[in-house]
């Protein structure tokens, strides 16, 4: 079965391979994960997607799976100028740590979302993060 994303039942506990939308969202613990966040166009809500390197069937996130992420963002009417990627971004970019296919997928994700270095935030693993809109901007917090 391929890598999938599903809507979270609880936006205060968005687990791996889930996404949620709200004024304040929280993710479960990031181990080797990254989060993708963006503001909903014209609203004080944030979209959050929790990406793990592998799914329950041991499928790796791949370049083909980037369309899952962009599909969720598009469906939720994201503001492309607000997208940020955070978490173990350094690991995802390093093929020696995650393997070439995942590093290629991470690069494809950055390209698809037109992400620059200022919008990638390397944060420690083994932490729980949240995101909210603060003064019109996305605030990522522990």
pLDDT: is 56 or 20 the higher one? 20
Scan for tokens 């479960």, then name that residue.
28
Of 127, 141, 136, the residue nearest 29 (C-alpha): 127
Q: How confident is the model at residue 48 (pLDDT cuts 50, 70, 90)?
A: very high
Domain assignment present for residue 73? The answer is: yes
The per-residue pLDDT for 89 is: 97
Percent of the chain with pLDDT over 70: 99
Of 44, 52, 42, the residue nearest 15 (C-alpha): 52
Of 120, 64, 118, 61, the residue nearest 89 (C-alpha): 120
Domain assignment present for residue 1? The answer is: no
Domain assignment present for residue 109? The answer is: yes
CATH of the domain at 65: 3.30.1330.200
Domain assignment present for residue 61? The answer is: yes
Domain assignment present for residue 74? The answer is: yes
- 58/2 Cα distance (integer angstroms): 10
The mean pLDDT of 100-121, rounded to a whole number, is 96
Q: Answer for the pair 39, 79: CB distance below 8 angstroms, yes or no.
A: yes
| pLDDT, tens digit, 9 for 90 and up, residues 13-22 | 999 999 999 9
The mean predicted confidence, pLDDT, of the chain is 96
Q: Containing domain of residue 106, as a range?
A: 6-141
Domain assignment present for residue 104? The answer is: yes
User: Residues 97-111, buried b or exposed e (16+ Cβ, 10 A)?
Assistant: ebeeebbebbebbbe
| pLDDT, tens digit, 9 for 90 and up, residues 88-100 | 999 999 999 999 9
The mean pLDDT of 28-54, rounded to a whole number, is 97
| Domain count of the fold of the chain | 1
């Amino acid at each position: 079965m391929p890598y999938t994303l599903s809507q979270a039942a609880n936006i205060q506990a968005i687990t791996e391979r889930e996404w949620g939308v709200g004024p304040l969202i929280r993710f479960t613990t990031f181990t080797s994960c990254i989060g993708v966040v963006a503001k909903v166009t014209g609203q004080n809500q944030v979209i959050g997607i929790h990406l793990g390197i592998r799914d329950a069937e041991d499928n790796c996130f791949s370049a083909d799976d980037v369309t899952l992420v962009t599909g969720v963002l598009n469906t939720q009417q994201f503001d492309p100028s607000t997208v940020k990627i955070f978490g173990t971004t350094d690991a995802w970019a390093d093929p020696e740590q995650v393997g070439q296919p995942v590093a290629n997928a991470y690069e494809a994700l950055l390209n698809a979302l037109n992400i620059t270095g200022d919008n990638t935030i390397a944060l420690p693993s083994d932490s729980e993060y949240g995101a909210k809109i603060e003064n019109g901007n996305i605030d990522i917090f522990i």
